[in-house]
Amino acid sequence: MSETGERRALIAGATGLIGGLLVNMALSHQAFAGVTAVTRRRLDVSHPLLRNPVIDFDDLSRHAATLAATDVFCALGTTMRAAGSQAAFRLVDHDYIVAVARLARAAGAARFMLVSSVGARAGASNFYLGVKGETEEAVRRLGFPTLHIFRPGLLLSQRTESRPGERFGVAVAPWLGPLMVGGLRKYRGIDPETVAAAMIGASMSGMTGTHIHHNDDMLRLTAEF
């Protein structure tokens, strides 16, 4: 897609916590002439600028034309509990993300904003963090002129699905946060609204190249939104 034309946003993962926020924020931002949210089930959102094609992520190449955009916001992800196995988790958190990125890049996308996780590292002994790190590296290799990788700490919001450990973390975060200083600051809790706003802000910042953002960076990037 030509950068001399209108800016259009593509959002993958729009049925999730951060993805849903991204849809609303992108639709309200004057920079975007259109927003495409690709999902496996129809969104309960109606807006004249929104396209919501229901697609098969296992056959993404068939939907390549729907992935044309200038700015891609990827918040795809699942949990081990929801996925049911390591293979199913990797399918969503690695294979689907890389496929979206590859097809969007081939269609001319200039900017890719990816939600990852604090501690992500390819080769990590922790399966979750290892997959996140491998996904980051795979997207890097696709050669986006601008790639922003977001590594938030604990998201300070209750989800609809039951996650007892996460609920406990959210509950104690206000007391633990001030104790996490120096290199531990990036593990502090962060509002999902801040992450989503930072992703929009990064796309508007004019930065090129690859950038990794932790909590403090995201707080600063919200000013660009």
> Could you write out the DSSP letters of every residue in 195-221?
HHHHHHHHHHS---EEEEE-HHHHHHH
Q: Does residue 132 carry a catalytic annotation?
A: yes
Dump pLDDT digits (tens) for 72-98.
999 999 999 999 999 999 999 999 999
Q: Provide φ and ψ at 175, rounded to 5°.
A: -90, -35
Task: Please answer whether residues 155 and 190 qualify as being in contact, where contact means their C-beta atoms are separated by less than 8 angstroms.
Answer: yes
> Which one of the listed residues 96, 132, 186, 187 is annotated catalytic?
132
**pTM of this structure:** 0.89
pLDDT at 136 over 90: yes
Dump pLDDT digits (tens) for 150-197.
999 989 875 445 445 445 444 444 535 454 455 677 888 899 999 999
CATH code of the domain made up of 7-224: 3.40.50.720
Dump pLDDT digits (tens) for 1-33.
445 469 999 999 999 999 999 999 999 999 999
Each domain of the chain, given as residue ranges in start order, spans 7-224
Q: Does residue 128 carry a catalytic annotation?
A: yes
Residue positions counted in the chain:
225
